[in-house]
Amino acid sequence: MKKGKVWLVGAGPSDFELLTIKGKKVIENADIILYDRLVSHSIVNLAKDSAILIDVGKSSNNHTMCQSDINQLLLKYALEGKKVVRLKGGDPFLFGRGGEELELLEENNIPFEIVNGITSAIAVPAYNGIPVTHRDFTSSLHIITGHNKDNNINIDFDCLVKLNGTLLFLMGLSSLNIICEGLINAGMDKNMPVCILEKGTTSKQRNIQGTLNNICEKCIEEEAKTPAIIIVGKVCELSEKFSWRKNLPLSNNRVLVTRPKDKNSSFCSMLRENGAEVIDLPTIKTIPIQNEQIEKTFNNLDFNYIVFTSPKGVEQFFYNMKLYKKDIRGLFDKKIAVVGNATKKAVEEKGLFVDIMPKNYCGRELGYELLKYIKNDDKILIARTKDGSQDIINILKDKNIKDIALYETKYEKANFINYNFDYNDIVTFTSASTVIGFIKSVKDYNLDYSKIRAVCIGKETEKEAKKYNFKTFVSDKATLDSLLEKVINIVK
């Protein structure tokens, strides 16, 4: 059997958008992914559906899997011919044991690549407004691990103090007292600024500020938690001045997106641009339908009106046009009706313009709007999902309609990776089915839905959410822009 290959991929400090382009590509193509505790949910969630995900995360004194077993797993899957990704927080070669994992692969002639990641040593201070070097303060940066292989601390403090640079300690929170005492005893000013940067680049990012003399006490008072970075130096004084994330409206908020995986990227990007930490939890997926009825319909598109109730319906309609070799010019004499802006946009991208769209974006309103135009002998094709709402059908029941299902919605159990639900999180729903999918996904977590803020894209979606007693909010319009605006207004 042909040998596989291993990629050591740095996932960066946590922020999804700090993942490199190459890292994303490799993750999306992997057969096996061994991931660490600090890799964000959304990064691991880039994996294809068939990929095997293995949690090998480690924290202080708590190892899911020992290092030697991780090394053996990499070798095992590579020998089976798999594309294997070892996914690490930060950069794999900066205190990430990347070198140790490569030794066994090299001994067995397994091909491998290194995909560097943005190290938390630079990114986390930057997200807190701290430049690790600045000509007015220091021209050097020194990165030190807070513990060694045997969980001991062995640092030459005298040498560090003489360097007169920015000192940055990774994995050192449990050794904070030793570090502060060591630096003071080596001659560093006890009033030297220190920042403890907790959970950097996430919505729970926190900066505990002090000096060598009092930072330990402050960390006890504020219950500092890992993961945290210790940064010592005068550059810490710039934190408030350069703190840029606080200006983003969603910077301290985590938002869950429950749209299908193939449709969630645009809304996730909109949220991230406004500073949110996004957890993409697809709770439904759409499956195309092919049957004899569809074939007959597309071989004789004898309709006066074609009605779309979703962008997915548009996508599947034109897929079938191509499948059955029907030229778009065959639609020249047909009126196009859509439920709202997103569906309208999907139609326009195919080179057509919409004739009918209601002011209020829902199937019921679309039905009433159609009644203003259609004649008794008109034929109407409604191209949509299987088991869609009956509202539009009930309104048009006396007309000559053909309701054809081009796709169906399946519920998908969300994959919780390095993520625990918090009642401060905001959940967004773009359809009633995403609500149902979310309930199915979290049924084993004993959540109190009345404590969860659910932002719904319309009244029909809210109606479903209210069945479970969510604390609901409804966007003013059934658009992603309006949904985003509602999320921002809630956190204000």
CATH architecture of 122-245: 2-Layer Sandwich (3.30)
Terminal Cα distance for the chain, rounded = 58
Residue 238 structure tokens:
């710039």
Residue 440 annotated in active site: no
Contact between 469 and 255 (Cβ < 8 Å): no
H or E element, residue 380: strand 379-385
Name the fold adopted by 5-118.
Cobalt-precorrin-4 Transmethylase; domain 1 (3.40.1010)
| Domain edges within the chain | 5-118, 122-245, 248-283+412-491, 286-411
Residue 57: HSE in the Cβ half-sphere, 13 Å Cα cutoff: 14
Give the pLDDT of residue 473.
97
Name the fold adopted by 286-411.
Rossmann fold (3.40.50)
Low-confidence ranges of the chain (pLDDT < 50): none
Give the pLDDT of residue 297.
94
Give the pLDDT of residue 112.
95
Residue 471 annotated in active site: no
Give the pLDDT of residue 62.
56
Out of 15, 36, 91, 280, which one is annotated catalytic?
36
Give this prediction's pTM: 0.88
- DSSP state, residue 85: E
Name the fold adopted by 248-283+412-491.
Rossmann fold (3.40.50)
Out of 3, 25, 58, 326, which one is annotated catalytic?
58
Identical fold between 248-283+412-491 and 286-411: yes
